[in-house]
Structures are given as structure tokens and as C-alpha cells.
Amino acid sequence: MHNHFNGLKTAALFGVMFAVLLGIGALISAGTGSSMFLWLFALIGVGTTAYGYWNSDKIAIRAMKAFPVTEAEAPQMYRIVRELSARANQPMPRLYISPTPAPNAFATGRNPENAAVCCTDGILRMMNERELRGVLGHELMHVYNRDILTSSVAAAVAGVITSVAQFMLFFGGGRDRGGNPLAMIATALLAPFAAMLIQTAITRTREFDADEDGAKLTDDPLALASALRKLDVGTQRTPLPQEQRLVNASHLMIANPFKGGNLKKLFSTHPPMDERVARLEKMAGRQLQ
């Protein structure tokens, strides 16, 4: 169990998400007299989840236009990842670099045996070795914690909820089948919003986990805290363009790669940097006691 009960929070959020799905399933059954479309959307969701999960490394790497690097090309990155992988008793992942000045990093892959870690050119130029070690420890823990599966399932369920809600809005049953049109319209409008909020909360929870577990792996929470401070400034100065391929991969990155105001930050898949830094500093304080 994590100190902040993040595993329990994730399970609870998934429970709420499935409750929303079951609730709109009951409404669509009452309105149309059939649950066939709910099952159809669910099957589509399972299919897209399986594809995205199995090919998560290829999809994200392609989105960032990253290329594989050898140890001769990225000796520092190899040295750090090899040390941390050995410390965690896990296989060495494939390493990539994305040729973008926007500072960021991500890890992906369905399991440690099929994992890939990618750093942008911007983050490699920005971080000193200690900070880069903190970042890579964070990313490796996403793989070891099986967060790709968690995020894939959350995205799929959210997609099913949105699809079913849209079906209800345009093709839902009416009074002749005993359905409540106003309730169905309200649900169709609110359900996608609720799904987005829950998916965001799940992703934020996993970021806190990776911060905490990565700091334990490196035994240096202040290094990651320093890296996050730099990233908070760097991603605002050099954001990624909000292209759909990058938006789809953004939840994997250690920092929100897009520039945005307070409203966009509210719905970001990443928790506020100041809160992440404060938790890491508190963790460092406990280590000194």
C-alpha cells in the first residue's frame, strides 16, 4: 500500500466509472427496450483497449517521432537506466530519443519485458545527471506498476461511456417505451464529462505513485523534485503543439506537455507540479528523521 493510498483510490475511481457505465446502461435499456447497443459499444471498447495496450509502445514512440539509440549515442541515459533496472531486478528497456526541444520523458510498453523509455532532446539538455536519474526512475516505475494497463482500461471505459451517451442523445428511446427523455438527455450530456473527470483522476493518482516509487528506487526524492520544477517552467516555455497524435500520448509523459491557463490545468491528466514537489520534499524530510 502506498503512503497516500493511491492504489485504493484507483480501485475506487474505477468502481465509480463502471457504476456510471451501468447506470447509463440501465437507462438505455429502459428507453430502447434493449441492451444490445450497450454490449456492442462494450465489445468495441474491449477491442480498442486490447489493441492500444498491445501496441502502446509503438503508438507513443511514433507519435513523438522518436528513434532508438545505442549506448554509444546516449551513454548517460544507458548508464542510469541500466543501474536502476538492475536495482529493481527488472530487464533493461529499449531506449529512445525524441528530436524535440520540448522537455519531457515517458515510458510505455505492456510489461517490463516489452518496455520502452523515451527522453526528448529538450529534457536531456535541461537536466543534470542527478535530475535525469530522478526522471528515469519515475518513468521506470510506470512500467513496473503496470500503469499502461491501468490507463488503457480507463481510456477504454471512458470511450465506451462517451459512445453510449452519444447514442442516447441521438437515438435514445422515448416515452412510448417508458423511458424518460429528459433523464436520458441529461445523462447523455453529463456522462462523458463524468468519464473524463474520473479518467483524469485515475491518471493523476498513478503520477503520484510513480513519483513516490521512483524516488524510492533512486533513493533521492529531492532530485525528482528539482527536475519537476525545471519541467514546470520548461514545458510552458517550449510546449508541444496540440496535435491529436500528441494529445493521445500526453498522459504518458512526466509533465503536461501543453501550454494552458488555469482552466486547462484543472482538467489536465497531470497533478499540479507544486503538489508533486511538496510530496517529494515531505518524503525527503521523513528520510532524514
Q: pLDDT tens digit string along 139-170?
A: 999 999 888 767 666 666 666 666 666 666 66
Give me the pLDDT at residue 44, please: 66
Give me the pLDDT at residue 26, please: 65
Give me the pLDDT at residue 183, please: 56
Q: Cell triple for residue 105?
A: 520523458
Closest by alpha carbon to 138, among 165, 163, 104, 111?
104
What average pLDDT does the segment 186-195 reach? 62
> Is pLDDT at 227 greater than 90 in this prediction?
yes
Q: Which residues pair with 107 in a beta bridge?
A: 117
pLDDT tens column, 108-120: 887 889 899 999 9
Is 139 known to be catalytic? yes
Given the residues 139, 207, 243, 275, the one annotated as active site: 139
50-59, 87-96, 231-240: segment of lowest average pLDDT: 50-59
Q: Which residues pair with 96 in a beta bridge?
A: 68, 118
DSSP 253: B
Q: Residue 167 and residue 161: Cα distance in Å, rounded?
A: 10
pLDDT tens column, 73-107: 999 999 999 999 999 999 999 999 999 999 999 99
CB 260 within 8 A of CB 272: no
Query: pTM value?
Result: 0.75
Q: Cell triple for residue 157?
A: 471505459
Q: Residue 29 and residue 173: Cα distance in Å, rounded?
A: 9
Give me the pLDDT at residue 246, please: 84
What average pLDDT does the segment 52-59 reach? 69
**What percent of the chain has a predicted confidence (pLDDT) above 70?**
58
Closest by alpha carbon to 37, among 29, 45, 49, 47?
29
